[in-house]
Amino acid sequence: NAGVTQTPKFRVLKTGQSMTLLCAQDMNHEYMYWYRQDPGMGLRLIHYSVGEGTTAKGEVPDGYNVSRLKKQNFLLGLESAAPSQTSVYFCATRDRGLRQPQHFGDGTRLSIL
């Protein structure tokens, strides 16, 4: 999807390792979101940000941390990865204004052994 780039696309970790997922956008959107999607299920919101320097918890924040030091980047961190965090992670952005749709990246597939 144009405008939202997620890095890396795939990663395999061992239990206890740490890593950071990067979401970069070039649409100058204020809002950014991190979701996880487990097999056969819809997306669940992990954390989100309503602007540079701000973050907030979503539905399933435990085990994750985020940072939004620059407007165009939203980082998702796993300090000590667990097998339960094996999932596909999606980043999304949204422009300011009522009822603006979210724009999603193509996801990061993360496996934790």
Partner 1 sequence: LAKTTQPISMDSYEGQEVNITCSHNNIATNDYITWYQQFPSQGPRFIIQGYKTKVTNEVASLFIPADRKSSTLSLPRVSLSDTAVYYCLVATLGNMLTFGGGTRLMVKP
Residues that bind partner 1 (CB under 8 A): 1, 4, 31, 35, 40-45, 48, 59, 90, 92, 94, 98-107
Q: Which is nearer to partner 1, 14 or 40 (CB)?
A: 40
Q: Which is nearer to partner 1, 41 or 69 (CB)?
A: 41
Do 67 and 77 touch, CB atoms closer than 8 A? yes
Q: Is 26 helix (H, G, I), strand (E, B) or coil?
A: coil
Please give the full DSSP string across 33-92, using - where no structure is assigned: EEEEE-TTS-EEEEEEESSTT--EE-SS-TT-EEE-SSTTEEEEEESS--GGG-EEEEEE
In the complex, the smallest distance separating the C-beta of residue 83 from partner 1, rounded to whole angstroms, is 22
In the complex, the smallest distance separating the C-beta of residue 80 from partner 1, rounded to whole angstroms, is 27
In the complex, the smallest distance separating the C-beta of residue 79 from partner 1, rounded to whole angstroms, is 25
Q: Which is nearer to partner 1, 79 or 95 (CB)?
A: 95
Q: Which is nearer to partner 1, 14 or 98 (CB)?
A: 98
In the complex, the smallest distance separating the C-beta of residue 43 from partner 1, rounded to whole angstroms, is 4
Do 5 and 24 touch, CB atoms closer than 8 A? yes
Closest to 21 in 3D by CA, of 89, 86, 80: 89
